[in-house]
Structures are given as C-alpha cells and as structure tokens.
C-alpha cells in the first residue's frame, strides 16, 4: 500500500512539474510566433493524444519528463510560407526567452506554492536550544541551553527546519556565525563556530546534533507504545508498556536516546534494562540491519516509544496575510535557490559526495511522505523539487536548457549558428552524461533500501 501511495504521489508530482516547465516553453514560444507541433508529457509509447490550435498534446507511457517540439528547419522540411514560424528563424533574444521560460515557470510555481503555504499557515517549533553536548563544537563556542537561534550567516532562522537547511549549505566552510538570543536578553548576540573539525555526514546525521546542539523537540518517553509483528523487538521478548531504563549500562537521557542506540548498532546485541510493572528485567535486543547507502547500515528494532508533546510556549504558526505571505514566499524561494546552487557547487568541489545524489525512488518516497503529512507539507516539498528542476535545467550541459542557452550565447558572440555536426556531437555527449548521472542516482536509491 505504501508503494502504491508513493508511486501515485510521484506520478502526480512529476507530471505537475513537467506540465508547468513545458508550458513555460510553450506559452513564450506562442507569444514569439513560433509554431509548436507537439506538447508531450512523458516519453515512449503515446497513451493519449488530442489536437488543439495546431498543436498535438500527448501523454506518453514513461512519466519521467516531457518536451515540446517546435517547428525548426534544422530538423524538418518547411514550406517557404511557414519559415517565419520556425524556431531557428527567430531572433536570439526570442529564442533565449523561449528556452529560459521553462526554468522560470518552475521558480514561479515554487513561489506560488510557498505563498499558499504561508497563507494557510505552517506549524513549527521555536529554535530554542534544549541542551549542549559536553566538549562539542557548540560547547567550545560557549552556547548555552535556552538560547534561541535567530540567524546563521545572515540567513534568518524561524524554526529548526530552516536551521538544518542553512547548516547543510555550510558544508565545507571553515566557520559560521550564528546570532542567538540568550534568556533574559532583548538583543541577539553573535557566536562563531569553528567548522574545521566538523565531521558531518548528511546521509546519517542531523546537522544540528552534529554541532552538539540538542533542539527543543518532541521527546521520547522510553515507554514502549507499539511493537511491530515479527520485528526484532517482538523476538527479544519486549512488551508494550515496558520502560527502557538502560542500554548497555548507559542510562537513557537526552544525548543517549533509545533510537540512537538502535540505529548505531545493526546486528549487534544490546543489553536492555527495563521496568515492567515495577520489576527490573534484563533483555537482549539485536536490531536488524537496514542499508542506507552502499557501505552504511542502520539498526531497526520495530518498536515505537511514547511521545511527550511540546509545551505550548514553544509552538509557533507561520501564517500571514496575502501581502506578507507573498513577501515571505519570495524570500523563501530565493533562499531555496541559493541553497540548491550551494549544494550543486559542493557536489562539484567534492565537499558533498556523489553518494548523496538521489534519484526517482527517493523522489517518490519524499512525495508520498509529504502528501501523507498534509497539503501544506506537500506544497513545501513540490516547491523545493520545482526549484531543483529549474536550476538543474539551467546547468550548461547539452540537452538541458542551460546547454541551449550556452549555444545561443556562442552564436551571438561568433555571429553565426553552431554547425549541426558540433550540435549533434554535443547532444550525444550530454545525453551520455545525463544517463550516467541518472544511473548513479538510481544506484544510490537502491543502496538505501
């Protein structure tokens, strides 16, 4: 059932993003007087088609993209009376406008979705520090419990999610400056964290915890609330209502939660001390191993603990009127564009490993989880993916919009179009690179299953 839900969410989301992207190209092409022969959602076998306004609109079998086919004398024979309708006969400015319209449409979709998010309101938690781990980077920078995060390198922080995004974008940096509001203060103060010894793996770690900062968050009461059938927890003899007191003689506390012990010890027996109706019992639990990357595993026990809800004073709702929401949507879109560009640059420089690259399976999982969480969270997910799609398409790689824009720039500089032979070779190379990157992303997805 979970697979079908994720698959459905993936098809709906990818189709929406493709429709918006290709409609950007289509709409501006029509404005420039270019005849569009086909508007396709998907590739491969055509499942449905209809002709409207001289354009064939089709839905194809494989929902992993789409395209518009414009009249172009470089790829088909055109009668003299239709020459003015061909893409290649338009000015360079018009062709740049058509090519750029797809990514711009993705950015506009993101801004619209974030606008709706801030109108509807998104619930979150104030970024207040609960505890600081001894000898951590945050402890060395004199952070204290009770401080509220206000900004990270001038990026305004409203909740812990925005703090995580800001921190991830700092991978590879030597330091960062946080503005925090201590208890009883009216103005924020600056704290500088030395990142030269920051060992952070975005695949397995929370960037906030990796600095030694424990956020105010939902706390786990170490009382077992649910046990999955056939799980490691059930096989060990654990029961609903058991309270976990110690694991391997370590008392369960803020920095040593049950979930950390389980995740960090796949296939390794753990000695649990539990309180069962006032009596202390010793139980051996061996978490099963789950792959998250090719070389990394985490433990899974199949148990759920009771959750202690947030105190009301820590809860916030980011909800604004139409005009304020538009401003926040614009700012959010810009921040996510900068974040995505930062991630791409760090992939190129090697600060982030290629094993962190995700493909359609991760996309499908994210779509399913966000859709299940509610409309606001789904809008936020689609907004982020739409920005990613827009920026990736602007990479100057042949077959992508950025590659077409690069060719047009070269044509403008040299005063004549690039030869068909060079274009053909470039497209072949670009297609090979894209296929290899897609294969790597899919491989990474499977290694995490």
Q: What is the pLDDT of residues 41-51, one digit of tens each?
A: 988 888 999 99
Span 63-99, pLDDT tens digits:
778 899 999 888 888 888 888 999 989 999 999 999 9
Residue 254: which pLDDT band, with cuts at 50, 70 and 90? low
Q: Which residue ranges make up each domain of the chain?
A: 90-121+322-449, 122-217+311-318, 219-309
Angle CA 147–150–152, to nearest 5: 110
Residues 168-191, mean pLDDT to the nearest whole number: 90
Residue 449: which pLDDT band, with cuts at 50, 70 and 90? low
Angle CA 376–146–184, to nearest 5: 110
DSSP E strand boundaries for 16-171: 36-52, 55-70, 122-125, 129-132, 148-152, 155-156
> In this model, does residue 398 exceed pLDDT 80?
yes
**What 3-state DSSP class applies to 137?**
helix
**Number of residues that make up the chain:** 449
Tell me which of 2, 22, 148, 304 is the catalytic residue.
22
Instruction: Tell me yes or no: is domain 219-309 CATH 2.30.30.100.
Output: no
Query: Which residue is it, tokens 């305004």?
Result: 156
What single string gives the DSSP state of each residue in 361-392?
Answer: HHHHHHHHHHHHH-HHHHHHHHHHHHHHHHHH
Span 212-223, pLDDT tens digits:
998 877 667 788
Report pTM.
Answer: 0.79
Closest CA to 16 of 85, 82, 96, 110: 110
Q: Would 122-217+311-318 and 219-309 be classified into the same CATH topology?
A: yes
Closest CA to 318 of 377, 370, 384, 394: 377
E strand or H helix at 293: strand 288-293
Contacts 24+ apart (CB under 8 A), 26-33: 26/55, 26/68, 27/101, 28/97, 28/98, 28/101, 29/68, 29/70, 29/87, 29/98, 29/101, 32/90, 32/94, 32/97, 32/98, 33/84, 33/85, 33/90
Span 130-145, pLDDT tens digits:
889 888 999 999 999 9
**What's the confidence (pLDDT) of residue 237?**
92
Closest CA to 238 of 284, 289, 280: 284
Closest CA to 382 of 59, 117, 26: 117
CB 213 within 8 Å of CB 191: no
Residue 22 annotated to the active site: yes
The C-alpha atoms of residue 173 and residue 40 are separated, in whole angstroms, by: 43
Closest CA to 10 of 83, 71, 63: 63
Work out whether the CA dihedral 355, 379, 375, 41 comes out positive or negative.
negative
The C-alpha atoms of residue 242 and residue 291 are separated, in whole angstroms, by: 28
Instruction: Tell me yes or no: is domain 122-217+311-318 CATH 2.30.42.10.
Output: yes
Residue 256: which pLDDT band, with cuts at 50, 70 and 90? low
């Amino acid at each position: 059932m979970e697979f079908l839900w994720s698959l459905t969410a993936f098809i709906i989301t990818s189709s929406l993003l493709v429709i918006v992207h290709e409609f950007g190209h289509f709409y501006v092409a029509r404005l420039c007087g270019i005849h569009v022969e086909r508007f396709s959602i998907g590739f491969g076998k055509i499942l449905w088609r209809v002709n409207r306004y001289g354009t064939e609109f089709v839905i194809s079998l494989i929902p992993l993209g789409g395209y518009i086919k414009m009249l172009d004398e470089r790829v088909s024979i055109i009668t003299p009376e239709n020459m003015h309708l061909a893409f290649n006969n338009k000015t360079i400015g018009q062709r740049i406008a058509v090519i750029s319209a797809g990514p711009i449409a993705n950015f506009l979709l993101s801004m619209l979705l974030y606008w709706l998010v801030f109108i509807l309101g998104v619930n979150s938690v104030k970024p207040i520090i609960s505890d600081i781990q001894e000898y951590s980077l945050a402890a060395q920078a004199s952070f204290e419990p009770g401080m509220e995060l206000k900004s990270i390198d001038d990026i305004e922080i409203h909740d812990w999610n925005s703090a995580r995004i800001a921190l991830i974008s700092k991978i590879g940096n030597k330091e960062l400056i946080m503005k925090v509001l201590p208890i009883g203060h009216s103005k924020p103060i600056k704290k500088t964290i030395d990142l030269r010894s920051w060992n952070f793996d975005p695949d397995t770690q929370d960037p906030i915890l990796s600095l030694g900062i424990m956020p105010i968050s939902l706390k786990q009461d170490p009382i077992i609330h649910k046990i999955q059938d056939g799980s490691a927890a059930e096989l060990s003899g654990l029961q609903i209502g058991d309270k976990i007191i110690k694991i391997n003689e370590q008392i369960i506390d803020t920095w040593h939660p049950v979930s950390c012990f389980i995740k960090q010890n796949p296939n390794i027996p753990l000695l649990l001390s539990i309180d069962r109706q006032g009596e202390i019992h010793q139980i051996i639990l061996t978490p099963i191993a789950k792959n998250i990357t090719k070389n990394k595993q985490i433990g899974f026990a199949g148990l759920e603990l009771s959750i202690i809800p947030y105190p009301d004073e820590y809860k916030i709702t980011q909800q604004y009127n139409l005009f304020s929401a538009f401003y926040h949507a614009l700012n959010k879109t810009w921040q996510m564009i900068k974040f995505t560009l930062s991630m791409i640059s760090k992939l190129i420089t090697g600060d982030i490993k290629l094993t962190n690259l995700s493909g359609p399976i991760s996309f499908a999982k994210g779509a399913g989880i966000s859709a299940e969480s509610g409309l606001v969270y789904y809008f936020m997910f689609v907004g982020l993916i739409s920005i990613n799609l827009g920026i990736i398409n602007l990479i100057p790689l042949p077959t992508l919009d950025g590659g077409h824009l690069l060719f047009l720039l070269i044509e403008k500089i040299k005063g004549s179009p690039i030869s068909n032979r060079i274009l053909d070779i470039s497209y072949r190379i670009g297609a090979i690179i894209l296929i290899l990157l897609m294969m790597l992303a899919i491989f990474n997805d499977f290694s995490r299953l």
